[in-house]
Amino acid sequence: MTKPYPVLWPMPTRWADNDHYGHVNNVTYYSYFDTAVNAWLMDATGVDTRELPALGVVAQTSCQFLGSISFPEMLHVGLRVSRLGRSSITYDLAIFRAVDEEPELVATGVFVHVYVDADTRKSIEIPEIIRTAASTLVID
């Protein structure tokens, strides 16, 4: 972890997150990413982002798994922005678990939001309220 994560969003695991093998299923990590980004955006902007005239749709995701997690554990999703473009935001994400009060990195990922008009679904500029919030996560 060479660059800091300005936000560590709390994320509990759920009973249903575990798969037959007794650990959180790989697809659930993407749910953690999606939930953390959108919950943080709503918290940081003070608005329900689903009601803006522009929607952030997911254009790309990836995840590198570095460790196993399972229910019940409290996690934190680290958020930072590696690119703040005209119509898209690239988030760098990390999932941490606390072990003896020290964070243990268990996954990293990338999540790209592209902003589109809510009605036409055509690419448009990032709404200013979103841009302002996301700019606080930009790490050079």
Q: Residue 14 corresponds to which amino acid?
A: R
- Which secondary-structure segment (H or E) carries 34? helix 26-45
Tokens of 49: 């982002």
pLDDT for the residue numbered 102: 78
Indicate the SS3 state at residue 38.
helix
100 lies in some domain: yes
Average pLDDT, the chain: 93
1 lies in some domain: no
Instruction: State the CATH number of the domain containing residue 112.
Output: 3.10.129.10
Percent pLDDT > 90 in the chain is 89
Summarize pLDDT for 80-128 with one digit per residue, the tens.
999 999 999 999 999 999 766 778 999 999 999 999 999 999 999 999 9
Return phi, psi of residue 23, to 5°. Answer: -130, 165
103 lies in some domain: yes
Instruction: Provide the domain count of the chain.
Output: 1
> Which residues span the domain enclosing 65?
7-135
